[in-house]
Chain A
Amino acid sequence: MLTDIEKKEIMEEAGQYPYPAVACIDALKIVQHHRGWVSDDSVKDIAQLLEISNEDVDGVATFYSRIYRKPVGRNVILICDSISCMIMGYESMYEYISLKLGIHFGETTNDGRFTLLPNSCLGDCDHAPAMMVNNDHYNKLTFEKIDELLSNYK
């Protein structure tokens, strides 16, 4: 069940469009904002609210890389694996984080603190290698810098 707040936020978005279905991506983002990810039940609830099929909503949800259809940890680490960061050594940064947290790409730590995901270019190419944790950008990564910044996310 969507909460009243979720419904209200979704319908506010839907109201500015010619028809409610346009708010599908907004709705997925709103639900993800409140719950961290989008479950099968949430897909059905959004479909009902916006008067479209479950399949249409799921088609959209699984298309976009920043909509999570599986639970993620409290903090999501996105490591840029695109070309400029490859040249500047993202692979060793990934290996370091992977070893430190004991997880590979696509996995979440047992305590639910971190999920580790690859990501295409973050637009920080002149300060590569780069990554994001939740909404925060970090660049010119070093092992020391990673130790320090990760300690800020509980």
Chain B
Amino acid sequence: MEKPLTKYITPGSPPPDLKEYSRIGGYASAHKALKEMSPAEITSLVKASNLLGRGGAGFPTGLKWSFVPMGENSPKPKYLICNADEMEPGTFKDRYLMEGNPHQLIEGMIISSYAIQAEKAYIFIRWAYKKAEKELRKALAEAYAAGYLGKNILGSGFDLDIYIHSSAGRYICGEETALFNSLEGKRAIPRTKPPFAAISGLFGKPTIVNNVETLVWIPHIIERGAEWFKNLSMTGAGGTKLYGVSGRVKNPGLWELPLGTTLREVIEEHAGGMLDGYKFRGVIPGGISTDFMLEKHMDVNMDFSNVGAVGSRLGTGTMIILDDKTCPVAFIHNIEKFFALESCGWCTPCREGLAWVEKLLASIEEGTGKMEYLDILKFHTKYLCFGNTFCAHAPGAAEPLQSGLEYFHDDFVQHINGKKCPWRS
């Protein structure tokens, strides 16, 4: 089984430096792309591979790039932004890729920037990732010294500077238009769409935002081609995926597996199954803004379309397991408290709605809830939807809440009727 993204990552050891990265074939794709391929050829190759964005939304990367205005008269400068904010609770995959092989990301950014003819690129990295930031700064310095960044890269006439921006906190910075405001030194509040980022993004210029795990694919696709990429997956969706598991399993961690690996294989084989004395009750499959999946979903192939078909989302592919000794109401309350705190406060449904959701859940958990609260919560899952809110924050919060209310209905009722949490002594 091929593991292109993590093959050269050894946890606990320093990442490959430029010399080592070049020895294992690194930057060969940058040479090939910048010397032998046109930007349009790269974009159509990425389109043909059907690489779907790994930040959670699964939008086709090549298609996204194709929206950028090209040619002599296109607006300048254009920007590429690597979204390395990774603040979705339960998610720790981008950190692994950045700490373990920073040059792979930089090479991906060079080729991607060339494809959209961006002359400036930013890595928007979350403040807590000190080690990843340090490794990236070291790798950037090496790449500049070797002529992979700066003016006239590899004699191609293409110029590129990459900057690192370490965030100052707040989950909403991962929303791409909020990220632009943050990079512009403002409060990270989402912008109205349209205009879309590819036309008017950072400083009003054409901008593409891609996730770390998306960008690191680009050198591999240049080297091996679209067909190779498609064949890596279990279901034809293309590529491998970093799947992670946290919670009460024997072997929590992160594994690069074919996209479309079953939920059962990830949890039982790689994560080693539940810890002794704990039973599986459910799983949030891809960061906390995704709907619960249950035991009956164990044989679902974990790719974007198959997870979608059972009413959830693949999201980031990093799973959080709910066990039988953790209260589902407390679990959901923790999630909604996060969303309520992290709401940027710009639009009313999110700012007010999530705060009420959090209060109602706290009340149920403490044993002072009423049956009518369940209807109010359910109303919010419908009300906090796209069209009513400015961005995806509140709709994301509604996902685990609505499936949680449905799947763990009896547990909610038990809290309300018993006037206490059955998990607390």
Interfacial residues, chain A to chain B (CB-CB below 8 A): 16-18, 21-26, 28-29, 59-60, 63-67, 81-84, 86-88, 119-128, 132, 135, 137
Contact A122 B128 (CB under 8 A): yes
Q: With the chains together, A66 CA to B323 CA distance in Å?
A: 32
- In the bound complex, residues from chain B placing their C-beta under 8 Å from that of A125 are 89-92, 244, 246, 252, 318, 320
Q: With the chains together, A84 CA to B92 CA distance in Å?
A: 11
Q: With the chains together, A24 CA to B187 CA distance in Å?
A: 10
B246 CB contact (under 8 Å) in A18, A21, A22, A84: A84
B170 CB contact (under 8 Å) in A28, A64, A128, A137: A64
Contact B254 A126 (CB under 8 A): yes
> Could you give 30 example pairs across A and B, Cβ below 8 Å?
A22-B183, A22-B184, A22-B185, A25-B182, A29-B166, A60-B185, A63-B344, A64-B168, A82-B288, A82-B338, A83-B284, A83-B331, A83-B334, A84-B90, A86-B326, A86-B330, A86-B334, A87-B321, A87-B326, A88-B248, A120-B171, A120-B342, A121-B87, A123-B91, A123-B92, A123-B95, A125-B90, A125-B318, A132-B128, A137-B128
In chain B between 57 and 98, which residues have their CB closer than 8 angstroms to a CB of chain A? 86-92, 95
Given contacts A25-B182, A67-B168, whether A121 and B187 have CB atoms under 8 Å apart is no
B186 at the interface (CB under 8 A from A): yes
Name the distance in Å between B323's Cβ and chain A's nearest Cβ: 7
Contact A83 B320 (CB under 8 A): yes
Name the distance in Å between A37's Cβ and chain B's nearest Cβ: 13
Interface centre among A23, A64, A81 (most CB of B within 10 A): A64
- In the bound complex, residues from chain B placing their C-beta under 8 Å from that of A64 are 167-170, 188
Q: With the chains together, A21 CA to B320 CA distance in Å?
A: 40
Q: With the chains together, A144 CA to B187 CA distance in Å?
A: 40
Contact A86 B185 (CB under 8 A): no
Given contacts A125-B90, A125-B91, A127-B252, whether A84 and B185 have CB atoms under 8 Å apart is no
- In the bound complex, residues from chain A placing their C-beta under 8 Å from that of B342 are 120
- In the bound complex, residues from chain B placing their C-beta under 8 Å from that of A67 are 168-169
- In the bound complex, residues from chain B placing their C-beta under 8 Å from that of A21 are 185
Contact A83 B187 (CB under 8 A): no
- In the bound complex, residues from chain A placing their C-beta under 8 Å from that of B126 are 123
Q: With the chains together, A125 CA to B244 CA distance in Å?
A: 9
In chain B between 343 and 365, which residues have their CB closer than 8 angstroms to a CB of chain A? 344
Contact B188 A87 (CB under 8 A): no
- In the bound complex, residues from chain A placing their C-beta under 8 Å from that of B185 are 17, 21-26, 60
- In the bound complex, residues from chain B placing their C-beta under 8 Å from that of A26 are 185
Known: A24-B186, A25-B182. 5 other contacts (CB 8 A): A22-B183, A83-B89, A84-B320, A87-B326, A88-B248
Interface centre among B128, B246, B323, B326 (most CB of A within 10 A): B128
In chain B between 161 and 181, which residues have their CB closer than 8 angstroms to a CB of chain A? 163, 166-171
B253 at the interface (CB under 8 A from A): yes
Name the distance in Å between B346's Cβ and chain A's nearest Cβ: 11
